[in-house]
Chains A and B, each alone.
Chain A
């Protein structure tokens, strides 16, 4: 059974009359990379702020390994590294001094600063003032802050914003390695769906403060990829069979696209063979996360 690292039970946050997060229940497994997706204004950042105790939910409970955040906030936060709100840090201090300040204040070893700077590949700029940092370097510094003191849980809000493709690749590999080898639980929100797709093991999709999907990526694809492309020698016969089995399909120039599940597709393949139909191709349509996301948030041209 998967251990749940973070769990929210129907958390709600309302600002004035607007409900930003509505009865949201998250289940984030230990050691997972949890991609948190949603369009702008969906409530991602508000949820993340609630997860790190920056704001209190109006309703609902947040638990870390079964312990309530509000009751054990200080102990829980010691084990969380986060990067939220894209701070610009203290520009007149160097990257090293920025990190050292935090370590000094929380009375933990200064040597940790060099370690995290090395992890995020920022050692070369450690003595440069932050005001001279590029956006990408600031993002790395943010990651360095979140990695300080080796927390088990890392919560990152759009960590690759402003990074070049090489930087995105580096950060992605870093997060994958942290999850794979150090068993960190990583929650990462991003607008870059391809990026989430390439690293997340689990995803949560929210829209207008409501959860619209939560689970593994594999499950999501299985649930949503119900289209099969069929290329045969006798399309008319195939259409008759599909009609007789009440299977929805559409006809393209060279193929037939039918909507069914993996079991039924295999069964149909047998039926076609029994009817002497030559099946040249029977493939499940691979939807990208973007396709799924758009269809689930109601912005795609088709519904799932």
Chain B
């Protein structure tokens, strides 16, 4: 069995256009919201020396975290939880007895959609900056891009845990509200939690790196990567189908 057909096979099972549409929407929402906030609070941003792409990006990340939670809930609902509602796990696992490969393929499908959302978001951000005459700091844009690609993605895999634990995809998606509430309460958590909990990694990385310190970003990216790998491996250990 080859891994690539497994991944392409996963794409045939999901409503690709619908997911692409949602991915684009949830990629554009933080761009639009951050632009509106940036335009309305331009003076405040300018007073802080953030009247450039950095100011826009900082607010973008703030809104984006919430959007990633919702987008992840939506993606995992179709990529993973639908197998529960279709009761197809036993069919898959008797034909493809490699649980890690199946979960790995599903994770790659998620990552592909996530990367598409990042591409749409950063493409739009650049266009917005050019159209609005916002000065672009390529270094901060690059740092921000790395944070989005490598660190914020851990929020998506945190949501994945809900889908592996809760068989009903609708409930698993709905309780993503928990992450939204926790994100909202970020400042109330002890520093250790802010530093270690995957939900807060991107926010903490931005705070500590100020979109400049590459070492901090790489450090957090490694943490995020570890979390994703462990999550995928542990979920593959779980019994995927329902017993009576």
Q: Please report A residues at the B interface, Cβ cutoff 8 Å.
A: 15, 41, 45-46, 49, 52-55, 73-74, 77, 80, 82, 84-93, 97, 101-102, 104-107, 145, 148
Contact = CB atoms under 8 A, between A and B. Distances in A.
B94 A82 contact: yes
A49 B94 CA distance: 10
A55 B90 CA distance: 10
Contacts of A53: 94, 97
B5 A145 contact: no
Contacts of B85: 88
Given A87-B86, A87-B88, A87-B90, A106 B1 contact: yes
For this complex, into which size category does the number of interface residues on chain B fall?
A: 20 to 34
A97 B1 contact: no
Interface stretch (B8-16, B23-31, B111-119): B8-16
A186 B26 CA distance: 51
Given A77-B97, A93-B13, A106-B95, A88 B86 contact: yes
Contacts of A15: 243
Given A54-B90, A90-B88, A106-B1, A85 B241 contact: yes
Contacts, number: 79
A102 B12 contact: no
A90 B13 contact: yes
A54 B93 contact: yes
Contacts of B93: 54
25 contacts: A46-B244, A53-B94, A54-B90, A54-B94, A54-B241, A55-B243, A77-B97, A82-B90, A84-B90, A85-B91, A85-B241, A87-B87, A87-B90, A88-B87, A89-B88, A90-B86, A90-B88, A101-B12, A102-B91, A102-B95, A105-B6, A105-B9, A107-B5, A145-B91, A148-B95
Contact of A92 (B1, B15, B95, B97): B15
Interface string B12-53: 110100000000000000000000000000000000000000
B87 A86 contact: yes
Contacts of A49: 90, 243
Contacts of A74: 97-98
Question: Which of B1, B12, B89, B241 has the most chain A CB atoms closer than 10 A to its own CB?
Answer: B12
B100 interface: no
Contacts of A41: 244
B239 interface: yes
Contacts of A46: 243-244
A151 B242 CA distance: 26
A88 B97 CA distance: 20
A93 B86 CA distance: 12
A25 to B, nearest CB: 22
B237 interface: no
B238 interface: no
B94 to A, nearest CB: 5
Question: Which of A54, A55, A93, A105 has the most chain B CB atoms closer than 10 A to its own CB?
Answer: A105
Contact of B95 (A55, A85, A105): A105
A52 B92 CA distance: 12
A49 B90 CA distance: 9
Contacts of B5: 104-105, 107
Contacts of A80: 94
B236 to A, nearest CB: 14
B96 interface: yes
Contacts of A77: 94-95, 97
Nearest to B7: A105
A145 B89 CA distance: 14
A74 B97 CA distance: 7
Given A87-B87, A97-B12, A106 B94 contact: no
A208 to B, nearest CB: 14
A101 B6 contact: no
B70 to A, nearest CB: 23
B87 A106 contact: no
- The 9 A-B residue pairs whose C-beta atoms are closest, nearest first, are A85-B90, A105-B9, A87-B87, A87-B88, A87-B91, A84-B90, A52-B94, A88-B86, A105-B5
B131 to A, nearest CB: 39
B94 A93 contact: no
A84 B92 CA distance: 11
Nearest to B239: A55
A90 B243 CA distance: 20
Question: Which of A49, A53, A55, A86 has the most chain B CB atoms closer than 10 A to its own CB?
Answer: A49
A145 B93 CA distance: 13
